[in-house]
Chains A and B, each alone.
Chain A
Amino acid sequence: MNLHDLFQAMYESRLGTALAESLYVYPLVEGIHLLSLAFSFGLIVLVDFRLLGIALPSLPVGEVLKQLRPWMIGGFTATFVTGILLMFALGPKLLATFIFPLKLLVILLAALNAIWFEWKFGRDQDYLTGRKDPVVSAKIAGAISLASWSTVVVLGRLIPYFDGSF
Chain B
Amino acid sequence: MAVSDRMTTIDLFKAVQGSDIAIAFGNAPLVFGIAAQLFHISGIVLILTPTLLVALRIAGTGLVDYSAAQLERKSRVYVATGLLFVVFSGLFMLIPSATLYQPNPAFQLKLILLPVALAFHYGFLARIAKEEFSQKWLAKIIALFMALLWFAVGMAGRAIGFLAA
Q: Is the CB of B158 within 8 A of A34?
A: yes
A-B contact count (CB 8 A): 65
Note all chain A residues with C-beta closer than 8 A to B38. 153-154, 157
* Bound Cα distance A56, B57 (Å): 15
- A27 at the B interface (CB under 8 A): yes
- B65 at the A interface (CB under 8 A): yes
The prevalent SS among residues of A at the interface is helix
- A43 at the B interface (CB under 8 A): yes
Partner of B162 from the list A27, A37, A59 (CB cut-off 8 Å) is A27
**Distance between A158 CB and nearest chain B CB, rounded to angstroms:** 7
- A165 at the B interface (CB under 8 A): no
Q: Is the CB of A31 within 8 A of B159?
A: yes
Q: How would residues 42 to 60 of chain B score, 1 for a CB under 8 Å from any chain A CB and 0 otherwise?
A: 0011001100110010000
Partner of B151 from the list A26, A35, A46, A63 (CB cut-off 8 Å) is A35
Q: How many residues of B contact A (CB 8 A)?
A: 23
Q: Is the CB of A153 within 8 A of B41?
A: yes
Q: Is the CB of B41 within 8 A of A46?
A: no
- B37 at the A interface (CB under 8 A): yes
In chain A, what residue has the closest Cβ to B151?
A: A35
**Distance between A90 CB and nearest chain B CB, rounded to angstroms:** 14
**Distance between B129 CB and nearest chain A CB, rounded to angstroms:** 17
Residues of B within 8 A of A (CB): 30, 34, 37-38, 41, 44-45, 48-49, 52-53, 56, 62-66, 151, 154-155, 158-159, 162
22 A-B contacts (beta carbon < 8 Å): A27-B162, A31-B154, A31-B158, A34-B154, A35-B44, A35-B48, A35-B158, A38-B45, A38-B49, A39-B52, A42-B45, A42-B52, A46-B49, A56-B63, A59-B63, A63-B65, A67-B63, A67-B64, A67-B65, A68-B63, A154-B38, A157-B41
Residues of A within 8 A of B (CB): 26-28, 30-31, 34-35, 37-39, 41-43, 45-46, 56, 59, 63-64, 67-68, 71, 153-154, 157-158, 161
Q: Report, nearest first, the 6 A-B pairs whose CB atoms are least far apart.
A: A42-B49, A38-B48, A31-B158, A27-B162, A31-B155, A42-B45
